[in-house]
Amino acid sequence: MVEHLSRIPAARTRARGPRRRLGSVIALVAGMVLSLSACDVWEQASRLPDAGRFNPEEVAITPSNVASLSGAWSADVTGSFSEPLLSGDRLYTTVVSGASGVVRAYDVTTGAVVWERPTPASSGAPGPVVMVAGDLWVSSGTGCSGVLSKLDPATGNVLATETTGPALVGAFVASGSTVASVQNGCVTDRRPQLVVRDLVSPAANWTFAFPDGALMTPPSISHDKIYVVADNLVYAFGATGCGAATCTPLWTSSLDVDGAEVIDSGERPVIGPDGTVYVGGLTHSIQTLVEAFDGETGAHLWRTDLHPGPGRGWQYLAFAHDQLYVSDQRQGNPSSAVEVFAAAGCGQDVCAPAWSAAIDGQPVGGLTIGGDVLYVGLLAGNGTGRLAAYGAHGCGSTTCPRLAAIEVGQRSPLRFAVAGGRFAMVSVRSSAATLTVLVPAS
Protein backbone atom coordinates (compact mmCIF):
# COMPACT_ATOMS: atom_id res chain seq x y z
CA MET A 1 0.00 0.00 0.00
CA VAL A 2 1.45 3.37 -0.91
CA GLU A 3 2.48 5.57 1.97
CA HIS A 4 -0.15 8.26 1.73
CA LEU A 5 -3.01 5.75 1.84
CA SER A 6 -1.72 3.75 4.78
CA ARG A 7 -4.36 3.40 7.48
CA ILE A 8 -1.79 3.50 10.30
CA PRO A 9 1.23 5.75 9.62
CA ALA A 10 4.69 4.35 10.30
CA ALA A 11 5.21 6.70 13.25
CA ARG A 12 2.45 4.96 15.18
CA THR A 13 3.19 1.33 15.91
CA ARG A 14 1.88 -1.46 18.10
CA ALA A 15 4.11 -2.30 21.02
CA ARG A 16 5.85 -5.59 20.57
CA GLY A 17 8.03 -7.88 22.10
CA PRO A 18 11.95 -7.34 27.21
CA ARG A 19 11.63 -3.72 28.14
CA ARG A 20 14.61 -2.26 29.94
CA ARG A 21 14.66 1.00 31.83
CA LEU A 22 16.11 3.81 29.80
CA GLY A 23 18.79 4.26 32.45
CA SER A 24 21.49 6.63 31.28
CA VAL A 25 20.05 7.62 27.93
CA ILE A 26 21.19 11.14 27.16
CA ALA A 27 23.12 11.23 30.46
CA LEU A 28 26.19 12.04 28.42
CA VAL A 29 24.67 15.45 27.67
CA ALA A 30 23.30 16.12 31.14
CA GLY A 31 23.81 19.69 32.19
CA MET A 32 23.39 21.05 28.68
CA VAL A 33 20.46 23.36 28.13
CA LEU A 34 18.64 22.81 24.88
CA SER A 35 17.53 26.04 23.27
CA LEU A 36 15.52 26.03 20.06
CA SER A 37 16.41 29.01 17.96
CA ALA A 38 13.68 31.52 17.34
CA CYS A 39 15.27 32.45 14.02
CA ASP A 40 14.39 31.28 10.53
CA VAL A 41 15.16 27.56 10.82
CA TRP A 42 13.36 24.20 10.71
CA GLU A 43 15.23 22.02 13.20
CA GLN A 44 12.86 19.21 14.18
CA ALA A 45 9.83 17.40 12.88
CA SER A 46 6.94 19.91 12.49
CA ARG A 47 9.53 22.65 13.28
CA LEU A 48 8.57 23.11 16.94
CA PRO A 49 7.52 20.69 19.72
CA ASP A 50 3.90 21.91 19.50
CA ALA A 51 3.63 20.18 16.09
CA GLY A 52 2.11 23.32 14.52
CA ARG A 53 4.10 23.13 11.24
CA PHE A 54 4.41 26.93 11.12
CA ASN A 55 7.47 29.09 10.52
CA PRO A 56 6.48 32.71 11.26
CA GLU A 57 10.01 33.91 10.46
CA GLU A 58 9.79 32.99 6.77
CA VAL A 59 9.51 36.27 4.86
CA ALA A 60 11.39 35.57 1.61
CA ILE A 61 8.60 33.43 0.09
CA THR A 62 5.40 35.45 0.03
CA PRO A 63 1.95 35.35 -1.59
CA SER A 64 3.28 37.70 -4.28
CA ASN A 65 6.22 35.53 -5.37
CA VAL A 66 5.27 31.96 -4.41
CA ALA A 67 4.17 31.28 -8.00
CA SER A 68 7.79 31.77 -9.09
CA LEU A 69 9.09 28.85 -7.00
CA SER A 70 11.31 26.57 -9.07
CA GLY A 71 13.69 23.74 -8.36
CA ALA A 72 17.20 24.70 -7.25
CA TRP A 73 18.26 21.05 -6.99
CA SER A 74 16.93 17.57 -6.29
CA ALA A 75 18.18 14.16 -5.13
CA ASP A 76 16.70 10.71 -5.71
CA VAL A 77 16.98 7.56 -3.59
CA THR A 78 15.58 4.07 -3.62
CA GLY A 79 13.89 4.16 -0.22
CA SER A 80 12.66 7.20 1.67
CA PHE A 81 13.75 10.53 3.18
CA SER A 82 12.68 11.76 6.60
CA GLU A 83 11.29 15.26 6.97
CA PRO A 84 14.17 17.55 6.00
CA LEU A 85 15.75 19.99 8.46
CA LEU A 86 16.91 23.43 7.34
CA SER A 87 19.56 25.13 9.47
CA GLY A 88 22.13 27.61 8.22
CA ASP A 89 23.67 26.44 4.95
CA ARG A 90 22.78 22.78 5.49
CA LEU A 91 19.84 20.47 4.90
CA TYR A 92 19.77 17.33 7.06
CA THR A 93 17.71 14.18 6.60
CA THR A 94 17.81 10.45 7.14
CA VAL A 95 17.69 8.10 4.17
CA VAL A 96 16.04 4.74 4.79
CA SER A 97 16.69 1.82 2.48
CA GLY A 98 15.31 -1.54 3.57
CA ALA A 99 15.96 -2.14 7.28
CA SER A 100 18.88 0.29 7.61
CA GLY A 101 19.72 3.88 6.84
CA VAL A 102 22.10 6.81 6.87
CA VAL A 103 22.10 10.41 8.05
CA ARG A 104 22.96 12.79 5.23
CA ALA A 105 23.89 16.48 5.09
CA TYR A 106 23.43 18.48 1.87
CA ASP A 107 24.68 21.90 0.92
CA VAL A 108 21.32 23.67 0.87
CA THR A 109 22.32 25.90 -2.06
CA THR A 110 23.92 23.39 -4.43
CA GLY A 111 22.56 20.02 -3.29
CA ALA A 112 26.08 18.60 -2.94
CA VAL A 113 26.39 15.88 -0.28
CA VAL A 114 28.57 17.36 2.47
CA TRP A 115 28.74 14.15 4.50
CA GLU A 116 26.93 10.85 5.02
CA ARG A 117 27.09 8.54 8.02
CA PRO A 118 25.46 5.13 8.64
CA THR A 119 23.28 5.06 11.73
CA PRO A 120 25.11 3.22 14.54
CA ALA A 121 22.50 0.51 15.09
CA SER A 122 23.32 -2.72 13.27
CA SER A 123 19.72 -3.07 12.11
CA GLY A 124 16.52 -1.09 12.09
CA ALA A 125 15.57 1.98 10.09
CA PRO A 126 16.46 5.37 11.63
CA GLY A 127 13.89 7.81 12.87
CA PRO A 128 13.77 11.49 11.88
CA VAL A 129 16.93 13.46 12.58
CA VAL A 130 16.53 16.26 15.17
CA MET A 131 18.68 19.34 15.95
CA VAL A 132 19.17 19.58 19.73
CA ALA A 133 21.39 22.25 21.31
CA GLY A 134 23.37 22.59 18.08
CA ASP A 135 23.89 18.84 17.67
CA LEU A 136 22.11 16.27 15.53
CA TRP A 137 20.31 13.40 17.21
CA VAL A 138 19.00 10.29 15.52
CA SER A 139 17.40 7.11 16.83
CA SER A 140 17.79 3.72 15.19
CA GLY A 141 17.43 0.05 15.94
CA THR A 142 14.49 -2.27 16.19
CA GLY A 143 12.60 -4.29 18.81
CA CYS A 144 14.56 -4.30 22.07
CA SER A 145 17.79 -2.99 20.51
CA GLY A 146 17.34 0.77 20.25
CA VAL A 147 20.20 3.22 19.86
CA LEU A 148 20.22 7.02 20.27
CA SER A 149 23.19 8.87 18.79
CA LYS A 150 24.53 12.42 18.79
CA LEU A 151 26.33 13.63 15.66
CA ASP A 152 28.45 16.65 14.84
CA PRO A 153 26.38 18.58 12.25
CA ALA A 154 29.56 19.92 10.60
CA THR A 155 31.19 16.55 9.96
CA GLY A 156 28.67 13.82 10.79
CA ASN A 157 31.12 12.33 13.30
CA VAL A 158 29.41 10.35 16.06
CA LEU A 159 29.97 12.25 19.30
CA ALA A 160 28.16 9.86 21.62
CA THR A 161 25.90 6.82 21.52
CA GLU A 162 23.53 5.38 24.12
CA THR A 163 21.41 2.22 24.04
CA THR A 164 17.75 2.79 24.84
CA GLY A 165 16.55 -0.78 25.27
CA PRO A 166 13.30 -0.67 23.28
CA ALA A 167 13.59 1.27 20.04
CA LEU A 168 12.09 4.74 19.79
CA VAL A 169 8.90 5.20 17.79
CA GLY A 170 8.73 8.21 15.51
CA ALA A 171 9.97 11.67 16.37
CA PHE A 172 12.36 12.56 19.21
CA VAL A 173 10.82 15.83 20.48
CA ALA A 174 12.68 18.63 22.24
CA SER A 175 11.48 21.72 24.13
CA GLY A 176 13.76 23.86 26.28
CA SER A 177 15.80 21.40 28.34
CA THR A 178 13.13 18.68 28.02
CA VAL A 179 13.37 15.83 25.53
CA ALA A 180 10.61 13.25 25.14
CA SER A 181 10.06 10.12 23.07
CA VAL A 182 7.83 7.09 22.86
CA GLN A 183 9.36 3.60 22.95
CA ASN A 184 7.92 0.24 21.98
CA GLY A 185 7.43 -2.52 24.50
CA CYS A 186 9.53 -5.66 24.46
CA VAL A 187 9.07 -9.37 25.11
CA THR A 188 8.78 -9.36 28.91
CA ASP A 189 6.76 -6.15 29.09
CA ARG A 190 4.78 -5.27 26.00
CA ARG A 191 3.66 -1.88 27.22
CA PRO A 192 4.99 1.06 25.20
CA GLN A 193 6.25 3.93 27.32
CA LEU A 194 6.78 7.67 27.31
CA VAL A 195 10.35 8.53 28.31
CA VAL A 196 11.19 12.09 29.40
CA ARG A 197 14.58 13.57 30.21
CA ASP A 198 15.59 16.99 31.57
CA LEU A 199 19.06 17.83 30.28
CA VAL A 200 19.65 20.29 33.13
CA SER A 201 19.08 17.71 35.85
CA PRO A 202 20.47 14.23 35.06
CA ALA A 203 18.28 12.70 37.78
CA ALA A 204 15.06 14.07 36.28
CA ASN A 205 14.30 11.02 34.16
CA TRP A 206 10.77 9.66 34.28
CA THR A 207 8.54 7.31 32.38
CA PHE A 208 4.92 6.28 31.95
CA ALA A 209 3.79 2.89 30.63
CA PHE A 210 0.71 2.78 28.38
CA PRO A 211 -1.59 -0.23 28.01
CA ASP A 212 -0.22 -3.38 26.44
CA GLY A 213 -0.33 -3.15 22.65
CA ALA A 214 -1.51 0.47 22.55
CA LEU A 215 -1.22 2.38 19.30
CA MET A 216 0.80 5.51 20.01
CA THR A 217 1.59 8.90 18.55
CA PRO A 218 4.92 10.59 19.20
CA PRO A 219 4.65 13.29 21.89
CA SER A 220 4.01 17.01 21.51
CA ILE A 221 5.24 19.53 24.09
CA SER A 222 3.82 22.95 24.93
CA HIS A 223 2.89 25.06 27.97
CA ASP A 224 5.02 22.84 30.28
CA LYS A 225 2.96 19.81 29.34
CA ILE A 226 3.53 16.72 27.22
CA TYR A 227 0.65 15.30 25.19
CA VAL A 228 0.38 11.83 23.68
CA VAL A 229 -2.56 10.03 22.05
CA ALA A 230 -2.86 6.27 22.59
CA ASP A 231 -5.77 4.45 20.94
CA ASN A 232 -8.82 6.58 21.77
CA LEU A 233 -7.37 8.51 24.73
CA VAL A 234 -5.52 11.83 24.95
CA TYR A 235 -2.94 11.90 27.78
CA ALA A 236 -1.48 15.05 29.38
CA PHE A 237 1.60 15.02 31.63
CA GLY A 238 3.58 17.68 33.47
CA ALA A 239 6.77 18.14 31.46
CA THR A 240 8.91 18.41 34.61
CA GLY A 241 7.63 15.10 35.93
CA CYS A 242 6.41 14.33 39.43
CA GLY A 243 9.59 13.80 41.46
CA ALA A 244 9.45 10.03 40.96
CA ALA A 245 10.77 7.63 38.34
CA THR A 246 7.24 6.83 37.18
CA CYS A 247 4.59 9.51 36.72
CA THR A 248 0.86 9.42 36.07
CA PRO A 249 -1.08 11.70 33.70
CA LEU A 250 -2.45 15.04 34.81
CA TRP A 251 -5.58 14.05 32.88
CA THR A 252 -6.87 11.76 30.19
CA SER A 253 -9.75 12.48 27.85
CA SER A 254 -11.61 10.19 25.47
CA LEU A 255 -11.89 10.87 21.76
CA ASP A 256 -15.28 9.13 21.67
CA VAL A 257 -18.08 11.28 20.24
CA ASP A 258 -21.82 10.84 19.77
CA GLY A 259 -21.63 7.34 21.29
CA ALA A 260 -19.07 6.13 18.75
CA GLU A 261 -15.45 5.25 19.51
CA VAL A 262 -12.98 7.51 17.73
CA ILE A 263 -9.43 6.35 17.07
CA ASP A 264 -6.58 8.76 16.47
CA SER A 265 -5.13 8.43 12.97
CA GLY A 266 -1.50 8.58 14.05
CA GLU A 267 -0.27 12.16 13.77
CA ARG A 268 0.96 14.07 16.83
CA PRO A 269 -1.55 16.33 18.60
CA VAL A 270 -1.21 20.01 17.64
CA ILE A 271 -1.05 22.54 20.49
CA GLY A 272 -2.25 26.11 19.98
CA PRO A 273 -0.59 29.16 21.59
CA ASP A 274 -3.28 29.22 24.32
CA GLY A 275 -2.69 25.54 25.15
CA THR A 276 -5.69 24.11 23.29
CA VAL A 277 -5.02 20.57 22.08
CA TYR A 278 -6.23 19.56 18.60
CA VAL A 279 -6.50 15.88 17.63
CA GLY A 280 -7.78 14.32 14.42
CA GLY A 281 -9.41 10.91 14.33
CA LEU A 282 -11.85 8.55 12.69
CA THR A 283 -14.69 6.28 13.77
CA HIS A 284 -14.85 2.59 12.94
CA SER A 285 -17.27 3.46 10.13
CA ILE A 286 -14.51 5.71 8.75
CA GLN A 287 -16.09 9.03 9.51
CA THR A 288 -13.42 11.61 10.26
CA LEU A 289 -13.31 14.63 12.53
CA VAL A 290 -11.00 16.90 14.53
CA GLU A 291 -11.55 17.55 18.25
CA ALA A 292 -10.34 20.45 20.40
CA PHE A 293 -9.55 19.92 24.12
CA ASP A 294 -8.76 22.29 26.97
CA GLY A 295 -5.05 21.77 27.61
CA GLU A 296 -5.41 22.30 31.37
CA THR A 297 -8.39 20.03 32.09
CA GLY A 298 -8.92 17.81 29.04
CA ALA A 299 -12.49 19.07 28.64
CA HIS A 300 -13.98 18.82 25.14
CA LEU A 301 -14.26 22.33 23.68
CA TRP A 302 -15.55 21.80 20.14
CA ARG A 303 -15.18 19.55 17.14
CA THR A 304 -15.56 19.61 13.41
CA ASP A 305 -18.44 17.86 11.73
CA LEU A 306 -18.19 14.16 10.89
CA HIS A 307 -17.03 13.60 7.32
CA PRO A 308 -18.11 10.34 5.67
CA GLY A 309 -15.63 7.87 4.14
CA PRO A 310 -14.47 5.73 2.55
CA GLY A 311 -11.45 7.97 1.93
CA ARG A 312 -8.25 8.14 3.97
CA GLY A 313 -9.83 10.72 6.24
CA TRP A 314 -8.08 13.65 7.89
CA GLN A 315 -4.50 13.81 6.80
CA TYR A 316 -2.61 16.58 8.55
CA LEU A 317 -3.21 19.43 11.00
CA ALA A 318 -1.31 22.71 11.23
CA PHE A 319 -1.71 25.87 13.30
CA ALA A 320 -0.92 29.49 12.41
CA HIS A 321 -2.44 32.97 12.53
CA ASP A 322 -5.06 31.90 15.15
CA GLN A 323 -6.38 29.29 12.74
CA LEU A 324 -6.42 25.49 12.62
CA TYR A 325 -5.73 24.07 9.15
CA VAL A 326 -7.08 20.61 8.29
CA SER A 327 -6.53 18.57 5.14
CA ASP A 328 -9.23 15.94 4.62
CA GLN A 329 -8.94 13.23 2.01
CA ARG A 330 -12.39 11.86 1.14
CA GLN A 331 -14.19 10.02 -1.60
CA GLY A 332 -17.65 10.87 -2.88
CA ASN A 333 -19.71 13.76 -1.56
CA PRO A 334 -18.49 15.90 0.14
CA SER A 335 -15.23 15.84 -1.79
CA SER A 336 -11.73 16.22 -0.38
CA ALA A 337 -10.92 19.57 1.12
CA VAL A 338 -8.46 21.78 2.92
CA GLU A 339 -10.51 23.47 5.63
CA VAL A 340 -9.54 26.26 8.01
CA PHE A 341 -11.23 26.79 11.39
CA ALA A 342 -11.11 29.61 13.90
CA ALA A 343 -8.83 28.41 16.70
CA ALA A 344 -11.34 29.35 19.39
CA GLY A 345 -14.17 27.46 17.71
CA CYS A 346 -17.57 28.97 17.02
CA GLY A 347 -19.38 28.96 20.36
CA GLN A 348 -21.09 25.67 19.48
CA ASP A 349 -20.21 22.02 20.03
CA VAL A 350 -19.76 21.45 16.29
CA CYS A 351 -18.09 24.07 14.08
CA ALA A 352 -18.00 24.71 10.37
CA PRO A 353 -14.84 25.96 8.68
CA ALA A 354 -14.26 29.71 8.42
CA TRP A 355 -12.99 29.13 4.90
CA SER A 356 -11.67 26.38 2.68
CA ALA A 357 -9.17 26.09 -0.14
CA ALA A 358 -10.24 25.28 -3.68
CA ILE A 359 -8.38 22.05 -4.46
CA ASP A 360 -8.36 19.82 -7.52
CA GLY A 361 -7.04 16.57 -6.09
CA GLN A 362 -6.62 14.45 -2.99
CA PRO A 363 -4.53 16.06 -0.20
CA VAL A 364 -1.80 13.52 0.49
CA GLY A 365 0.79 15.36 2.57
CA GLY A 366 2.37 18.51 3.82
CA LEU A 367 0.11 21.16 5.34
CA THR A 368 2.83 23.63 6.18
CA ILE A 369 2.69 27.40 6.72
CA GLY A 370 5.68 29.59 6.01
CA GLY A 371 4.97 33.22 6.86
CA ASP A 372 1.78 34.11 5.00
CA VAL A 373 1.69 31.11 2.64
CA LEU A 374 -0.12 27.79 3.18
CA TYR A 375 1.22 24.73 1.34
CA VAL A 376 -0.40 21.34 0.75
CA GLY A 377 0.56 18.33 -1.35
CA LEU A 378 -2.12 17.09 -3.77
CA LEU A 379 -2.51 14.05 -6.00
CA ALA A 380 -4.78 14.28 -9.05
CA GLY A 381 -6.88 11.40 -10.34
CA ASN A 382 -4.31 10.60 -13.04
CA GLY A 383 -1.58 10.19 -10.41
CA THR A 384 0.06 13.56 -11.03
CA GLY A 385 1.33 15.24 -7.89
CA ARG A 386 1.43 18.96 -7.25
CA LEU A 387 2.44 21.38 -4.55
CA ALA A 388 -0.40 23.87 -4.08
CA ALA A 389 0.01 27.23 -2.33
CA TYR A 390 -2.67 29.49 -0.81
CA GLY A 391 -2.79 32.71 1.17
CA ALA A 392 -2.64 31.57 4.79
CA HIS A 393 -5.04 34.29 5.96
CA GLY A 394 -7.79 33.39 3.49
CA CYS A 395 -9.27 35.67 0.87
CA GLY A 396 -12.37 37.22 2.43
CA SER A 397 -14.60 34.51 0.98
CA THR A 398 -15.66 31.03 2.11
CA THR A 399 -13.68 29.37 -0.69
CA CYS A 400 -10.25 30.67 -1.68
CA PRO A 401 -8.36 30.06 -4.93
CA ARG A 402 -4.80 28.85 -4.93
CA LEU A 403 -1.91 31.19 -5.51
CA ALA A 404 0.28 28.66 -7.27
CA ALA A 405 0.56 25.02 -8.30
CA ILE A 406 3.88 23.31 -8.94
CA GLU A 407 3.75 19.97 -10.75
CA VAL A 408 5.95 17.18 -9.36
CA GLY A 409 5.20 14.43 -11.89
CA GLN A 410 3.90 10.99 -10.99
CA ARG A 411 4.85 11.37 -7.33
CA SER A 412 3.06 12.15 -4.07
CA PRO A 413 4.39 15.26 -2.26
CA LEU A 414 4.44 14.22 1.40
CA ARG A 415 6.87 16.09 3.67
CA PHE A 416 7.75 19.78 3.68
CA ALA A 417 9.97 22.27 5.50
CA VAL A 418 10.33 25.99 4.78
CA ALA A 419 12.99 28.36 6.12
CA GLY A 420 15.51 30.90 4.89
CA GLY A 421 13.70 31.48 1.61
CA ARG A 422 13.89 27.79 0.70
CA PHE A 423 11.11 25.24 0.43
CA ALA A 424 12.24 21.61 0.91
CA MET A 425 9.90 18.87 -0.29
CA VAL A 426 10.00 15.07 -0.15
CA SER A 427 7.88 13.31 -2.77
CA VAL A 428 7.51 9.56 -3.28
CA ARG A 429 6.63 7.09 -5.96
CA SER A 430 6.46 3.39 -5.18
CA SER A 431 9.78 2.50 -3.49
CA ALA A 432 11.64 5.65 -4.57
CA ALA A 433 11.78 9.15 -3.11
CA THR A 434 12.88 12.57 -4.34
CA LEU A 435 14.14 15.45 -2.23
CA THR A 436 13.70 18.85 -3.91
CA VAL A 437 14.64 22.35 -2.80
CA LEU A 438 12.61 25.16 -4.37
CA VAL A 439 13.44 28.87 -4.30
CA PRO A 440 11.56 31.93 -5.58
CA ALA A 441 12.81 33.97 -8.52
CA SER A 442 15.21 36.67 -7.41
Which superfamily does 3-439 belong to?
YVTN repeat-like/Quinoprotein amine dehydrogenase (2.130.10.10)
Q: For every one of its 442 residues, what pLDDT tens digit does the chain have, with 9 covering 90 and above?
A: 333 333 333 334 444 333 333 333 333 333 333 333 458 999 999 999 999 999 999 999 999 999 999 999 999 999 999 999 999 999 999 998 876 789 999 999 999 999 999 886 556 678 889 998 889 998 887 777 788 888 999 999 999 888 877 878 777 899 988 999 998 777 666 788 999 988 776 666 899 999 988 888 899 999 999 999 998 999 999 998 998 999 999 999 999 888 888 887 778 999 999 999 999 988 877 788 899 999 999 999 999 988 776 555 666 899 999 999 998 877 666 678 899 999 999 999 999 999 999 888 888 888 999 999 999 999 887 889 999 999 999 999 999 999 999 999 999 999 999 999 999 999 999 889 999 999 999 7
Nearest 5 degrees, angle CA 191-CA 194-CA 200? 150
Q: Is 28 helix (H, G, I), strand (E, B) or coil?
A: helix
Please, which residues have CB within 8 angstroms of residue 236's CB and are 6 or more apart in sequence? 225, 226, 227, 249, 250, 251, 252, 277, 295, 298
Global pTM reads: 0.89
Rounded Cα distance between 51 and 245, Å, is 27
**How many CB atoms neighbour CB 350 within 10 A?**
14
Nearest to 322 by CA among 390, 219, 229, 394: 394
Partner residues linked to 195 by β-bridges? 181, 207
Domain ranges of the chain: 3-439
